[in-house]
Amino acid sequence: MAIEEIKLETDGVALTAHLATPRTAAGVPLPGVVLAHGFPSGPGGGSDPGATHPELAERIATELGFTALALSARGCGSSGGDFSLAGWLSDVVAAAEYVRNLDNVWGVWLIGFGTGGALAVSAAAEHSWIRGVAALGAPADFKDWAAHPRQLVLHARDQGIIRDRRFPESFDAWSAQLRAIGAAEAAPRMDGRPLLVVHGADDDLVPVFDARVLADAHGAADLRIIDGAGHRLRHDPRAVATLLGWLNRQRNEGQTSD
């Protein structure tokens, strides 16, 4: 298994990602997956909110045989640019397209945590070639942010994911994205493609009610509520085991249908 740092570009913004590739014979078709991190908080801020995602990508590649890409969205880690919701959505799509265009990849799934989960659903709603989505700790919408957009800008600056003091050039356009993008609104447009919704019963950042709203909006989602778990499901072994089991089924069912 090999993992390497790669560079992507979307909207003129340079992005950093880590690509884990399983050791297989040359030309063997592989499933692909993209990992999208959430909005940073706490120590470290936006320096690398998906710091452990390359490790998870490596595990998915090693144990399940996926080509797995862990993305650092604009404003985060060593990626360029500044945070905007539409910008992060473009980043997720660009990462998925990168994996899709690899020579031996036959299908792409998305895994998103927090904000990344909501954006993964939105990306799948717009692109029918995305096979399915796993959304962990994802908000159903961003109305709370939309109600206090100036506070969000200040918080994003504090977290280091808005670096340019002149950004955004149009505050109205930037804040309008917070109402225009939402997972519950997008979920029906997945047209029944697989959706796994995982949420911590004790999540203090995104209410567990959001998971039920998202699952209901999709209509056929696999909803899993993890007792005693909080928001950081990446670090909950039960949530990770649920995710890996779902991915394994997706790979097997995708191979059968193809």
Give the CATH number for residue 86.
3.40.50.1820
DSSP conformation class of 145: H
SS3 29: coil
Q: What's the domain range around 13? A: 2-257
What integer pLDDT is reported at residue 46 of this predicted model?
58
Q: Look at residue 254 in the predicted model and tell me its pLDDT.
A: 77
pLDDT number for residue 135: 98
Confidence (pLDDT) at 255: 72
pLDDT score, position 240 = 97
Q: Nearest CA to 14 among 71, 96, 61, 86?
A: 71
pLDDT value of position 51: 78
Number of domains in the chain: 1
| pLDDT attached to residue 41 | 75
- In this prediction, residue 97 carries a pLDDT of 98
Q: Which residues of the chain have pLDDT under 70?
A: 1, 25-26, 42-50, 256-258
- Look up residue 140 and give its two tokens: 């159903």
Among residues 123, 120, 5, the alpha carbon closest in space to that of 70 is found at 5
Whether the pTM exceeds 0.85: the reply is yes
Q: Helices 115-126 and 85-100 meet at what angle, rounded to 10? A: 60
pLDDT at 52: 85
pLDDT of residue 24: 76
Q: How far apart are CA 238 and CA 242, in angstroms?
A: 6
Rounded to whole angstroms, how far apart are CA atoms 29 and 6?
21
- Using alpha carbons, list the distances in angstroms from residue 17 to 69, 132, 196, 227: 7, 21, 24, 32
